[in-house]
């Protein structure tokens, strides 16, 4: 649940409220198993979950908070799948100037394994460890003909 952790850290760092006024957790966690070989091991599956972030006694501009969230998603989750629902904001007005906010959004995070003799995951007659995986995509290329 790296994306939820990163989003929570980002929101705390904005100093919109005191750190103790922000809480977050994951709900409805599902794992779609894929078991597809990659250059670095196995794409075991995709973890999909609902992330909930609660901000208590928020007195700032809600439009700014939405813009900050949108910018964070663009920079940190640019490949969001079109089938993910849009983030939602539930507002509970506490005073005329403060509201408790509940932000709900869904994330999908790929889970990758690499062969590891000390790993704890056994599959396909091998031992694997959970690893971070960076997919490198070529941005430039060249095709040369070598034909006769």
Give the pLDDT confidence of 97-110 residue by residue, as tens digits.
Answer: 999 999 999 999 99
Q: Which residues 6+ apart lie within 8 Å of 94 measured at CB?
A: 57, 100
Distances (CA, A) of 124 to 33, 36, 119, 121: 14, 12, 13, 10
| Under 8 Å between Cβ of 24 and 52 | yes
Determine the pLDDT at residue 12. 97
Closest to 126 (Cα-Cα) out of 142, 136, 115, 112: 115
What's the average model confidence in pLDDT over 110-131?
92
Lowest-pLDDT range of 1-5, 39-43, 103-107: 39-43
What's the average model confidence in pLDDT over 14-40?
95
| Under 8 Å between Cβ of 54 and 21 | no
User: In the chain, what are the helix, strand and coil shares in percent, each to the nearest 5?
Assistant: 20, 45, 35
64-78 per-position pLDDT tens digit? 999 999 999 999 998
């Amino acid at each position: 649940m790296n994306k939820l952790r990163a989003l929570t850290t980002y929101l705390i760092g904005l100093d919109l409220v005191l750190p103790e006024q922000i809480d977050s957790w994951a709900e409805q966690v599902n794992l779609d198993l894929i078991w597809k070989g990659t250059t670095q091991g196995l794409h075991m599956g995709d973890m999909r979950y609902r992330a909930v972030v609660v901000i208590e006694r928020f007195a700032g501009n809600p439009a700014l908070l939405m813009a900050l969230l949108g910018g964070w998603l663009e920079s940190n989750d640019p490949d969001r799948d079109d089938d993910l629902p849009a983030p939602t904001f539930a507002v509970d007005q506490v005073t005329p100037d403060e509201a408790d906010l509940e932000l709900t959004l869904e994330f999908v995070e790929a889970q990758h394994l690499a062969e590891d003799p000390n790993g704890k995951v056994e599959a396909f007659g091998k031992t694997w460890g959970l690893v971070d995986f960076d997919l490198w995509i070529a941005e430039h290329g060249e095709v040369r003909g070598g034909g006769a």
